Every structure is written in C-alpha cells, then in structure tokens.
Amino acid sequence: MKRILMIFLTVLLIGSSSAYAKYKIDHLEPSFWWTGMKNTSLQLLINGENIADLQPEVNYAGVSIMKVSRVANENYLFVDLKLSEITKAGSFDILFKKGAKTILKYEYQLLERKAGSAERVSYTPADVMYLITPDRFANGNMANDNVEGLPEGLDREQKDGRHGGDIQGIIDHLDYISDMGFTSIWSTPLLENNQTTYSYHGYAITDYYQIDPRFGTNEDYRKFSKEARKKGIGIIMDIVLNHCGSEHWWMKDLPSTDWINNEGKFTSCSHKRTTVQDQYASKEDLKQFSDGWFVESMPDLNQRNEFMSKYLIQNTIWWIEYADLYGLRVDTYPYSDSEFLIEWNRRILEEYPNLNIVGEEWSTNPAIVSYWQKGKENKNGYVSNLPSLMDFPLQNALVEGLTEEDTWGTGFIKLYEILVNDVQYPNPNNLVIFPDNHDMARVFNQLNKDYNLYRMAMAYILTMRGIPQIYYGTEILANSNAGGDHGLLRMDFPGGWEGDEVNAFTGKGLSTQEKEAQNYLKKLLNWRKTSSVIHKGKLMHYTPEHGIYSYFRYTGKEKVMVILNKNTESVHLQTERYHEMLKGNETAKDIISGKIIQMNEGIEVPARSAIILEIK
C-alpha cells in the first residue's frame, strides 16, 4: 500500500546476491522523531521479511542503540534508541547487517521540536468543544471520495456507508465554527480504517500513523490544525488505545501470540466495566471485560505486552507533536489495561504537563466515573493520572430532570442532586459536560422534540461547571428519529454537499425554528466565550421549588444567575430567598433579550424557559 508520509525515506538493498534478496523492510514506526523530548528513549518497531536475522547499527552523534529485541516472529525487530542532550536534528542511516555485510539501509530523520511545544496550553472551562463526525460534516474534496486500494467507497444512500465528508470540508467551514462561538474541535478518529464495510466512523484503525486517504493526508491534518489555530480553535484528537481494526497490517502476521488479547482469537467483551473497580469481582469476570473484543472487526490490543505499550504511547506523542494538538479524547477508556493507562498518562503528561485529556467512561454512576480522575484516592490504591472524564451522569440527569414530572424524587430534583456527587471528583470543573454525543440519540429527540426544553438544556450546559461539548447539528435541532441507530443519528450536515437544498452554514432552507435555535446557541456561545465568571466562577444552587431550578456562578467581582422554569405559566420569582447572593438593590441584564431587571422587584420568568442574568 502506498504510504503517504511527509518525510523522504529510503530503504536500499545492498549487493546483488540472491542470498540477500529475501530481506526487506515494510514498516518502520515511528518513521521519524524529534530532538528535545523529555524522555530520551525511542523504540522503533521494524517489520519486514526475515528482519530479525539482521543486526541494526547506527553511527550518528548523540544517538545510540540501547537494546535490540527479537520476538517469536522473525519478521519483527524492536530497536531501542537513546537520544542524548547533544543530539541535533538531522538524518542518519540505520544499517541492517549480517555479519560484516550491510544488507539494508534506512534513512531516519530527527526533527527539531517546535519552541514551546512542551508548555502548550490546552482546553479548559473557557472552551466549548464542537464534536464532528468528519464523514458526515462536509465534503470539501470530491477527488478522495473513492481511493484505489481502499475497498469501501462513497455510498450516501447507505446509512452505515461512507458519505464523503473529509478534512478539507471542515477547513472550508472553520469560519462558521468560529462565528458560532466554538473554541475547539473534537473530531471522531481520522486515521486509516481500511475495513471492507462500516469504516466511516474511524474507530477500527488499520494504520496508526496514517490519516485515512478518504479524509485527506497527514499534511492535510496538520494544515487543519494550523488553520484552526489562526481562528482561535484548537484541535482535539480522538485516541483509540483499546483496539484496532481487523484489517490492520499486523493482523496478517502478528509479532507474537500475546500482541492481541486471547491469542488473536475473537472472544466477546462482557462490557461489565465495574469489574475494574469492584472489590468483590471475580478474576474471570475481570478478564472477560478487559481482554474481550468489542466486536470481531475490532481486535483487542494487549497493552500488557511491553512493545505494544510503548508503541501506543509513542504514537500518541507523535501525533501531538506532529499536528500541534490542543488536547486528547480517549475512546472506551476503562476497556484498556488499567496499569497501562497509568503509564500512558504519565508519559504523555511528562512531555506535555498542561495537556488536557478526557476519557470516556460511559456510566451514569459518579462513583464509577470519578474512579479514573487524577487525584482520586481510591480504596484499592489505584492512582489514575487522567485529568478529565466525560460527565455521563450529568447528561443523564439533565434529560431526566427536564422530561420527568416534578415530584419528591423525579424531575428537577435529579438535576439538583447529581451535583452533590461532585464531592467524589478531585476536579469537577474539568469534567466535559454535554447534552448528547455521537453514540446516543440526538438531544432534541431525547427531549421529545420539545423546543422549550431544548433551549433550557442549552442554557444549562453552557452555564454549568465544566467544559461543554456540543455535537454538530445540535445547533439546528438535528433529530435522529431512530433512537440509538448510529448511522442515522450521525446525519449529513445540511449544506456540506454540493447540491444540498438546505444549507445550515448559510441558513438557506432552514425552518424558522431551526434558524432560531441556531441563533440562540450562537448568542449563548459568543457570550460565554467572554464570560470569565462562567470559566472560573464558583457554583451555588438552590433546591428546586414549584417547577423552578435556579443557580449562580460567581466570583468576588461577578455574578450570573440562571433560572429554569418548567411550568406552563410564567412565574414572578421573589428574590428574598437568594439573599446570600443578592443584596437587594442589584440590577441585572438578561443576556438574550438585553432587558434590564431591578432584582428587588422580583423576576418575571416566562413559561417553559431559561433566563440568564448578569448581575451588576
């Protein structure tokens, strides 16, 4: 397969003797590296026919071979290099010798690390993520819709097929994303998924160092990051550590029987994530969870294998450095080996101390989710290094709080009480909060297509503690009409394809309500972008009463009050109850209507609405 790399490399066969013709190099990863890294070791995975017969040799100032490891398969070598403090950027040959004779030669390149790379800033509560499924967002380059050598081509009629969205499509609409008020983009994986079917989603990776050609090239991805930065938008990469695609090149010739869990044979995962933390869990149940495969097309990687562990760690660092990433999101976080996750996070944060990383632990139980956050003192002694988690408990409480009738134990009280669980998190402000994502029904559907509830949900997500994430299309009331059918809920964004009758980028063809929703979210996002009290403020909330839930975000200088009213009638809310926050003579500005309110006269809250008040 043609390799699309940004660096010139050569593999030469030395000599004409047919005795040496059996040797070759098919893969050497990572194909280049950087000087100036905190960790000075680098392990190369080298794959090619009979490569283990040969002995590598390096002659370059500041670079030495510390160790050469051979495994069961003679087509693999693992070479550990040491890069000293004096190592300069440049190229050198790795010689592969048999006795005194050089059989193969590989030109390796060390690049100079970008100034300030280690100190890069990352996403914080001042950000709002825009989550995109690239195949379904916009087709910016129709020339890559079908690529020779990749079996699955364009088929927009198939809900689970490839629809043609790509990196250029996102680049073309960065102005829209910026104007809406988003400050970062998390896209589902863009790496090669050379699977025969159902490859659009990106989670069955077949080459960890290669952007899928149907999305673009490695250079396109770096351009995407660079162009986004110019508009104040950082790129968050979706990392898959737990599994690869069944068509990954190494699956045809595994380095060793323990490279893939269950000796490379499909064994279904139990998906019982609690076994990792459960003090009563059997070892057999834990094994069925940790070592089981998601599906047959996604082999489960064995991170207990030392070479696999280093491979995944270095691959993550490579992409951060190469693409100038703003942060990471980690797919199916607890499914990976828990001890490996400690080391993976440690190594990433060793190189990038300020980098934010959010893990996916899909549980509505805060005790399960909080287990993984950095700083949590767990009863079993497990010490996690992961900075952030996706706040699935809050998402679930938001939907139930808005859709259920208010009683002693249902409705708004769930939204109120879920926050008491913040005591379980070392840093609740660093959790990523969201109304929906790419794996669940659209929030508009979850809220029974009630536009008033939708507006309340958006107001809540964009004023609550944490880092908000909004899925593409939410701004125009995207609805799946299919429950959790992934192929349908990951809809084509209107206007992303030539000939689309509706264009959400320009507003053409949108309904009045869809335009109103888009403008509402745009106003909220751009207000939030400049609201330091939302970014840094503390939270105080009041128990729900009579269909009203209210809370404050506040600092020593600023206050914002949020009121959610589920009643079918407007409510005149007296302010005496809020004396801890209000002194009785403040005025407030409604950030949506611009109306000025005298707080001591009470607050008129329209039926089925949310109001956000900046208090002066």
Dist CA 316 CA 56 (whole Å): 25
CB atoms within 10 A of CB 570: 13
Residue 550 near residue 593, CB atoms below 8 Å: no
What's 299's DSSP letter?
P
Place of tokens 């929703």: 517
Helix (H, G, I), strand (E, B) or coil at 249: helix
- Would strands 609-615 and 587-590 be described as parallel, antiparallel, or unpaired? antiparallel
What's 500's DSSP letter?
-
Classify the C-alpha dihedral 68-71-74-77 as positive or negative. negative
Dist CA 138 CA 134 (whole Å): 7
| Selection from 311, 380, 374 nearest residue 340 by Cα | 311
Question: Which residues 6+ apart lie within 8 Å of 426 measured at CB?
Answer: 370, 373, 374, 375, 376
CB atoms within 10 A of CB 450: 15
Dist CA 153 CA 29 (whole Å): 28
List 207, 321, 331, 436, catalytic entry: 331
C-alpha 523: how far from chain center: 25
Helix axes 338-351, 306-323, angle to 10 degrees: 30
List 300, 360, 400, 475, catalytic entry: 360
Told to judge if 439 belongs to the known catalytic residues of this protein, a careful annotator would answer no
Angle in degrees, CA 126, 132, 133, rounded to 5: 155
Question: Which residues 6+ apart lie within 8 Å of 371 measured at CB?
Answer: 276, 277, 361, 378, 382, 384
Place of tokens 């859709």: 403
Told to judge if 360 belongs to the known catalytic residues of this protein, a careful annotator would answer yes
Residue 425 near residue 472, CB atoms below 8 Å: no
Classify the C-alpha dihedral 209-212-218-224 as positive or negative. negative
Dist CA 93 CA 106 (whole Å): 5
Residue 407 near residue 417, CB atoms below 8 Å: no
Dist CA 441 CA 156 (whole Å): 20
Residue 445 near residue 403, CB atoms below 8 Å: no
Dist CA 486 CA 131 (whole Å): 15
Query: Cis omega (within 30 of 0) on the bond before 151?
Result: no
- DSSP string across 349-379: HHH-TT-EEEE----S-HHHHHTTBTT---T
- Which residues are identified as catalytic? 331, 360
